[in-house]
Amino acid sequence: MASLAVPALSLILVRDQRSDLNCTVETCPIDSSYYFYRVSIGANAAFLALFSISFIGFIITYALTRRATAFTVAMLSGVILEVLGYVGRIMSWQNQWNDNGFLMQIVCLTIAPAFMAGGIYLCLRRIVYAFGPENSRIAPESYTRIFIPCDLGSLLLQAAGGGIASAASHAGKSPDTGDNIMIAGLSFQVVTLLIFMGLCVDFALRTYRRYKSMGQDAFDQNPVFVQTRGSWKFKGFVAALALATICIFWRSVYRVAELSEGWTGNLIRHQWLFVGFEGVMVIVACLSLNLFNPAFAFKEAMVGFGGLGSKKKTQKQENQEKSTGVTGENSRSESASDVERAAT
C-alpha cells in the first residue's frame, strides 16, 4: 500500500488540476478522472431504482406488520446508503472529474452492507428459538451479543476510514491512511461473517442430527413455533437469509481485494467487476429479504420467544398453551400428532 501513496497522490493532483480546467469526456482522457472507465448511467440508474424499491418495500412491510423493528432499521439504514451511493455515481457520470460524487459513492457503498449484516445477525437468534435452543452450541442470546458489537466495530472502522480518506482527498493529499482503515473494517466484517456462517452451518448440522435420532422431539413444540416451522414463508425466509449472507460475504471479500490495491489499483478499473460483485450481490441480498421478510415469516413468534427483548411469552402464546394444555416445560413429552392438532 505504501508503494501506491506517491502515484495516488500525484493522480489526485492531476485530477484536481483538470477539474479546474473544466474537463469533460470529450476534452480529457477518461483515465485522468476519478474513474478509469466511463461510468454507466444505465447500470447505476437501474441500481438506484432497485434500491429505492427495496427501501419502499421495507417501509410498507413495517407499516403493515409493526414487527421486526430492529431488523427493519438496520436494513433501511443500509438501503438508504446504497441509494445515496448510486446518486453519487450518477453525479460522477455527469462530471467524472468532480470528487464529490466519487467520494460520496465510495464511502456510502462501502459501509452500507455493514448495516445489512447487522440485520442478518439479528435473525439467527429467532431461528434458533424456532427450532429449539437445545440444537444450538451456544445460547440464542449469544448470537446477538457476539455479532452485533463486532458489526458495530466494523461499521465504525469503515465510517472513520471513509471520513479520513474523503478529507484527505479534498485537501489534495493521499487517501491511503483512510483507505487502510476502511480495509481493516471490511476485513473484520469478512472474518465476522465467516464465523457467523460457520455457526449457522454448525447449528443446521446439529439440528439435523438430533432430528434423525429424536424425530420431532428434537424441535421446540410450542404451538406457535410448530406453525412457524411448517409455513412456506418461514422456509423461504431461511433460504433468503442464507442467500443474503452469502451475497454480503462475497461482496465484502471483493471490496477488501479491490481497496487493498488502493484507488488506482487494477480491480477498481473494471466497471463490470463493480457491477457484478458489488451492485448485483447487494441488491440480491436486499430483494430476497424484501420478499421473505422475517416480519411475515415469524408473525407471533417475532415477539416473546425469539424476540429482541426478553424471552417472556406473549399473552396470545399463554392463552394458546392454556387452551391446548401444552407448555414450554412439558411440550417435549407430547407426541408429534398431538402437537399438530394443538397447532391447528
CATH for 157: 1.20.1070
pLDDT category at 293 given cuts 50, 70, 90 is very high
Can you tell me the distance from the alpha carbon of 41 to that of 27, in angstroms, rounded to the nearest whole number? 19
Kindly give the residue spans of alpha helices, DSSP state H, lying in the chain.
Answer: 5-20, 41-65, 69-94, 99-131, 140-170, 176-214, 223-230, 232-260, 271-274, 281-291, 294-298, 315-324, 336-343
Residue 169 has a pLDDT of: 83
Determine the length of the chain. 344
Q: How far is CA 280 from CA 43, 175, 286, in A?
A: 10, 27, 10
Look up residue 231 and give its DSSP letter: S
Residue 65 has a pLDDT of: 92
CA torsion 276→278→282→284, rounded to 10°?
0
pLDDT category at 256 given cuts 50, 70, 90 is very high
Residue 111 has a pLDDT of: 95
At 51-73, the pLDDT tens digits run 999 999 999 999 999 999 999 99
Residue 303 has a pLDDT of: 61
Query: Given a cut of 90, is residue 318 above it in pLDDT?
Result: no
- The number of distinct structural domains making up the chain is 1
Out of 12-26, 60-74, 124-138, 287-301, least confident range: 12-26
Residue 12 has a pLDDT of: 52
Query: Given a cut of 70, is residue 258 above it in pLDDT?
Result: yes
At 321-344, the pLDDT tens digits run 445 444 444 444 343 333 333 333
Can you tell me the distance from the alpha carbon of 309 to that of 207, in angstroms, rounded to the nearest whole number? 24
At 133-185, the pLDDT tens digits run 999 999 999 999 999 999 999 999 999 999 999 898 888 888 889 999 999 99
C-alpha cell at 19: 477539474
Nearest Cα to Cα of residue 33 among 110, 106, 102, 89: 102
Can you tell me the distance from the alpha carbon of 192 to that of 151, in angstroms, rounded to the nearest whole number? 8
Can you tell me the distance from the alpha carbon of 334 to that of 341, in angstroms, rounded to the nearest whole number? 11
Q: Which residue has the cell 472474518?
A: 191
Query: Given a cut of 90, is residue 320 above it in pLDDT?
Result: no
Residue 27 has a pLDDT of: 85
Which secondary structure element, helix H or strand E, spans residue 218, and what is its range? none
Domain residues for 205? 2-343
Query: What average pLDDT does range 251-262 have in this prediction?
Result: 94
pLDDT category at 304 given cuts 50, 70, 90 is low
Residue 188 has a pLDDT of: 96
Q: Which residue has the cell 416480519?
A: 295
Can you tell me the distance from the alpha carbon of 62 to that of 228, in angstroms, rounded to the nearest whole number? 19
Q: How much of the chain exceeds pLDDT 90, in percent?
A: 65
Q: How many CB atoms lie within 10 A of CB 110?
A: 26
Query: What average pLDDT does range 9-15 have in this prediction?
Result: 49
Residue 78 has a pLDDT of: 97
Do residues 154 and 188 touch, judged by C-beta distance below 8 A?
A: yes
Query: What average pLDDT does range 115-133 have in this prediction?
Result: 93
Residue 30 has a pLDDT of: 87
Query: What average pLDDT does range 216-245 have in this prediction?
Result: 92
Do residues 122 and 148 touch, judged by C-beta distance below 8 A?
A: yes
Residue 21 has a pLDDT of: 53
Query: What average pLDDT does range 28-49 have in this prediction?
Result: 93
Nearest Cα to Cα of residue 134 among 71, 54, 221: 221
Can you tell me the distance from the alpha carbon of 77 to that of 281, in angstroms, rounded to the nearest whole number? 17
Can you tell me the distance from the alpha carbon of 102 to that of 116, in angstroms, rounded to the nearest whole number? 22
Q: How far apart are the first and last CA of the chain?
A: 62
